[in-house]
Structures are given as C-alpha cells and as structure tokens.
Structure 1
Amino acid sequence: MAAQFEIYKDAASKFRFRLKAANGEIVAQSEAYESKDGAKDGTDAVKRAAAEATVEDLT
C-alpha cells in the first residue's frame, strides 16, 4: 500500500485530513475545515508544498 490521505469528520463534525504512511502510521494531521472541499484543497496544498520542501535542522 502506498501512502495516502484520508478525509474524515471529527467529533465536532468538521472535516479534517490525515496522511498515512505505507505502513498505516499517521504521519500528519490537518486543522479543521468547514467543508470537504476545504479539506481536499488542504491535501492539494500539502502535496504541492512537500514536493519542493527542504529540511531545516534547528538543533
């Protein structure tokens, strides 16, 4: 199984997404969105940003 985004409703009926690694571990979770479209847009934004992201070691 490849990594995947899951869109779901939280306890307050808001939409959220989480990114699961291939092993099923949750590696990222979103803020709450009012609409499912907002959550979908959030996944797209993460995909775009991650493709060009660098790692900054602040230790």
Structure 2
Amino acid sequence: MAAKFELKKSQNDKFVFNLVAPNGQVVLTSELYESRASALNGIESVRKNAPVGGRFGRLCAKNGSPYFTLKAANGQVIGQSQMYSGEKAREGGIESVQAHAPHAALDDQTAAN
C-alpha cells in the first residue's frame, strides 16, 4: 500500500485528515477544519513542510510518552503524531512523514458522509 492522506468529516461536520504510512499506521493527524477547502490547504502545507527537519517539534506527554508535531513556516501546528513507546519509535514516525507526505495520494472520504 502506498502512503495516503485520508480526508474525513468528523461527527460535528468538521474536516480532519490523517497521513497513513504504507504499513497502514496513522503517522500524523490534523486539527479540525471548518471547511473542506481549509483541510485541503492543510494537506498541501504538510506536503510542503514535511521535508524540512526543523519544522518538527519533539515533545513528551504528561505520562512521558514521546510524540511530535509538524509546524508550518508561520509556526502553526499543522499535524500531530500519536504517542510512541520511545524516542527511537518517534524518530521513525518523523522519518516516515518526511519520506511519504510530499508524494502521498489523497483519499477523499468526505463525499461519502
């Protein structure tokens, strides 16, 4: 399976996307967007910013689980990862986003909702 952005509609009629790696794992989730057009702009921003290593924030949750964020050039967070078991796994997630986001296809599931 190739990497893809899955664009979905949430229960409250907002839009959200996930970057799904070739292994089927969700490696990045967006914020909620008010419109489909804004969500599509968010996907383009992830494609553009993912190759830039300095755009990734390496953080830890209150329970100590590592995760990362991806920021746009203006500093706004455009995606967040899941929680990882350790720092090495988090780095693997970042590498996956960097490798796959720029060329990931769009799977627009909003028409079905």
Residue 75 of structure 2: aligned partner: 24
The offset of 1:12, in angstroms, is 1.0
Q: Whose radius of gyration is greater, 1 or 2?
A: 2
Residue 5 of structure 1: aligned partner: 56
The CA RMSD over aligned residues, in Å, is: 1.6
Residue 40 of structure 1: aligned partner: 91
SS at match of 1:50: helix
Q: Deviations over 1:2-47 (max 9, x none)?
A: 6600111111110000001111100000000111111111000011
| Divergent runs of 4+, >6 A | none
Between the aligned partners of 1:42 and 1:56, the Cα distance in structure 2 is 20
Where does the alignment leave 5 or more consecutive residues of structure 1 unmatched?
none
Identity %: 28
Where does the alignment leave 5 or more consecutive residues of structure 2 unmatched?
1-51
SS at match of 1:8: strand
Between the aligned partners of 1:52 and 1:45, the Cα distance in structure 2 is 12
What letter corresponds to residue 23 of structure 1 in structure 2?
N
Query: Is the alpha carbon distance of 1:56 and 1:34 closer, same or farther for their aligned partners in structure 2, counting shifts above 3 Å?
Result: closer
Please give the TM-score of this superposition, normalised by the length of structure 1: 0.83
Query: Higher RCO, 1 or 2 (CA under 8 Å, sep at least 6)?
Result: 2
